[in-house]
Amino acid sequence: MIFGFAHRESVGKISMAGPSTNIVLSILLAVVFLVAGQPALIYASAINAWIALFNLIPFGVLDGYKVFTWNRSVWALAFTTSLALTILTYMSLPF
C-alpha cells in the first residue's frame, strides 16, 4: 500500500511490480516444466499467470487500474502477456 502523496508514475511503477513478478515466474516455471516435465510446475505456472491476469484488471483497488491510469501501453503489454500465458498454460495442464 502506498501511503501519502505520490506521483502517478511512481504509483504505476510500484503497482506493476507484483504482476511483473507473476509473469516472470510463470514464464520461468513453464520453461522448467518443458525441460523437467514435472506436472506441478505447469500448475504453478498457470496459477501465476492467472494471478497476474486478475491483478491487471483495470478496476478499483487492483494494480491494473493504477497501471492503466499511469501508462496504457505498459498495461496493454502486461495484460496481453498475462492473458496469453494464462491460455497457454491452461491448455498445457494434464487434467
Distance in angstroms (rounded) separating the CA atoms of residues 45 and 26: 4
pLDDT tens readout for residues 53-81: 999 999 988 999 999 999 999 999 999 99
pLDDT tens readout for residues 31-50: 999 999 899 999 999 999 99
Q: What is the pLDDT of residue 94?
A: 84
DSSP codes, 19-31: HHHHHHHHHHHHH
Please give the grid coordinates belonging to residue 94.
494434464
- Cβ atoms < 10 Å from Cβ of 93: 11
Distance in angstroms (rounded) separating the CA atoms of residues 43 and 72: 30
Q: What is the pLDDT of residue 95?
A: 76
Cell 520453461 identifies what position? 31
Instruction: Say whether pLDDT at 28 is over 90.
Output: yes
